[in-house]
Amino acid sequence: MTTFPHAPGFVAGERPQIVTERFQYEDSYTLERYRATGGYEGLRKALQQPSSAVHEEVKSATILGRGGAGFPAGTKWGLTPQGVWPRYLVVNGDESEPGTYKDRLLMERDPHQLIEGCLIACYAAGLSQCFLYIRGEMALAQERVAAALNEAYAAGLVGRNVMGSSFSVDVVLHWGAGAYVVGEETALIESLEGNRGMPRLKPPYFPAAIGLYGKPTIVNNVETLSNLPWLMRNGSAAYTAIGTKTSPGTRMVAVSGHVKRPGVYEIVNGTTTFRDLLYGEEFCKGIRNGNALKAFVPGGGSAPWFTADQLDLPFEASQVGPAGSMLGSGAVMVMDETTDIPAAALTLTNFYAHESCGKCTPCREGGTWLQRILTRVVNGDGTTEDLAQLVEVGSMICPGNFPHASSERLGLAAVPFPYKMTTICFVGPSAYAPVHSALTLFPEEFAARVKHRRTIPVTAVGAPA
Ligand SMILES: Cc1cc2nc3c(=O)[nH]c(=O)nc-3n(C[C@H](O)[C@H](O)[C@H](O)COP(=O)(O)O)c2cc1C
Ligand code: SF4
């Protein structure tokens, strides 16, 4: 097993590696290293076939989108209307979901892999221009992707007549300004167009039909596209031989929190369980200080929490969804027995309330209400009525899903995912998801908080502070 100082936290073992195999090289981001390790051979192979054959290959691999929703890439590419031109590829590199830091590593460590993936996607889906949107704060990723793109243009790999073929495509880089909601695909498109990054209504604004500049647009995640070079080199049969039928291949998972070895791991999809990941010697090696696991967030800050009795669930959407959560953005956050649960929920709710774009009332007002009430509870100023009010506000954002806070601890599948919601996008429910999880899984911690309210500190001279 090797650890890589240039990709902090990244650990490789004997497992199949589709998107991280080059991370072991210090110069993994250069064109020289990329070409020496099979780089751009997938594109060459693709260009020797009709674009429809490449599209079919991607379809039969069933690459599930890695941005959160898990929609198969090949199927999505087929949703664009016939005969409407131009059509675009937008690469979602906004990665801002709490706990998620895998796309950043892919852009920093293997930018050519992403560029090659973009070119294969454009060729297969008939997309004439690619817009690569990278989160504002990711300075090194921006630098590496820009340098790689310059190298690729100079080598005739991007631009007019790619590799001497009749296929031409340009890639435009765009730096975001650091808004979480811009990761939502329609908000990202608004931002690219120079507008405030606010989500559009779906329908009618499904990007594949009406996207960037009103034209058909495919939005794909960085990791999704980074799978394509390997897939074209090795074929869909090799790809689907890894993982399960419904979740083939591998996926990158960023683990943070109270494990002995947090980091990004490329795991086998569908078969690896949360127990393997958190306790396995090749992964996180267990909980810090030998402590007990209290809870974990399985798929980024928006995902409802799981507890130790759900450790044996695999990374398989068809099992994690009915169990009440999602694999989402591929981020697992671990809380050990020392965690102050109401405070942990507040940390996440603060984030989503702050990131609300304000377009819909339940999110704009509800997020702030949740934040204020929960702050009161965490600070020791809350009441039992406050707990009931948290649930009431939550049910305005996600109606019909939630039992009262004082209900007994939920059974594992009590709240199916995804939630119903009154908001345009998932930021609204995301502000409530941690509150809901914390309240239903650990009601005793909230009850104690409101029972033993803050004792008034006494000053040195004996007067109340
Ligand atoms: C609030 C919100 C934030 C999102 N942030 C991201 C993100 O940072 N990166 C990403 O790829 N997808 C993000 N998504 C999902 C995108 O809307 C979209 O589904 C995804 O980029 C499609 O790519 P994929 O099919 O390859 O997964 C977000 C969705 C929502 C609702
Ligand atoms: S849910 Fe929140 S972030 Fe999403 S569109 Fe509505 S106000 Fe904006």
pLDDT in tens, 284-329: 999 999 999 999 999 999 999 999 999 999 999 999 988 889 999 9
pLDDT-based confidence at 275, cuts 50/70/90? very high
Q: What share of the chain is helix, strand, coil (3-state, %, to 5)?
A: 40, 15, 45
What angle, rounded to 10 degrees, do the helices at 111-125 and 51-61 form? 120
pLDDT at 427: 97
122-147 pLDDT per residue, tens: 999 999 999 999 999 999 999 999 99
Q: Is the pLDDT of residue 202 over 50?
A: yes
- Considering every ligand atom, which ligand is closest to the CA of 180? 1
Cis before 111? omega within 30:
no
pLDDT at 407: 42
Q: Which conformational region is residue 293 in: left (phi greater than 0), alpha (psi within -120 to 50 degrees), or beta? A: beta
Q: Is the CB of 69 under 6 A from ligand 1?
A: yes
Lowest model confidence (mean pLDDT) among 5-14, 15-24, 192-201, 438-447: 5-14
Residue partners of 206: CB distance under 8 A and separation at least 6: 79
pLDDT at 419: 77
pTM for the structure as a whole: 0.93
Residue partners of 125: CB distance under 8 A and separation at least 6: 51, 55, 77, 80, 87, 89, 218
**pLDDT average, residue stretch 333-361:** 97
**pLDDT average, residue stretch 352-378:** 97
- The CATH T-level fold of domain 341-451 is de novo design (two linked rop proteins) (1.20.1440)
**pLDDT average, residue stretch 5-10:** 43
Are 317 and 349 in contact, with CB atoms under 8 Å apart? Answer: no
Q: Is the pLDDT of residue 417 over 90?
A: no
DSSP 97-154: STT--HHHHHHHH-HHHHHHHHHHHHHHHT--EEEEEE-TT-HHHHHHHHHHHHHHHH
9-18 pLDDT per residue, tens: 455 556 899 9
Q: What's the 196 CA to ligand 2 centre distance in angstroms? A: 12
pLDDT-based confidence at 412, cuts 50/70/90? very low
Output the residue whose Cα is nearest ligand 2's atom 4.
Answer: 425
pLDDT-based confidence at 80, cuts 50/70/90? very high
Rg (CA), the chain: 23
Q: What are the structural domain ranges in the chain?
A: 16-240, 250-336, 341-451
pLDDT at 7: 42
Q: What's the 207 CA to ligand 2 centre distance in angstroms? A: 18
Q: What's the 181 CA to ligand 2 centre distance in angstroms? A: 8
- For domain 250-336, is the CATH number 3.10.20.600? yes
Q: Which CATH number fits domain 16-240: 1.20.140.10, 3.40.50.11540, 3.40.50.2300, 3.90.650.10?
A: 3.40.50.11540
Q: What's the 436 CA to ligand 2 centre distance in angstroms? A: 19
Ligand 2 neighbours by CB, cut-off 6 Å:
181, 198-199, 356-360, 363-364, 423-425, 427-428
Higher local confidence (pLDDT), 359 or 452: 359
Q: Note whether 16-240 and 250-336 share their fold.
A: no
Cis before 418? omega within 30:
yes
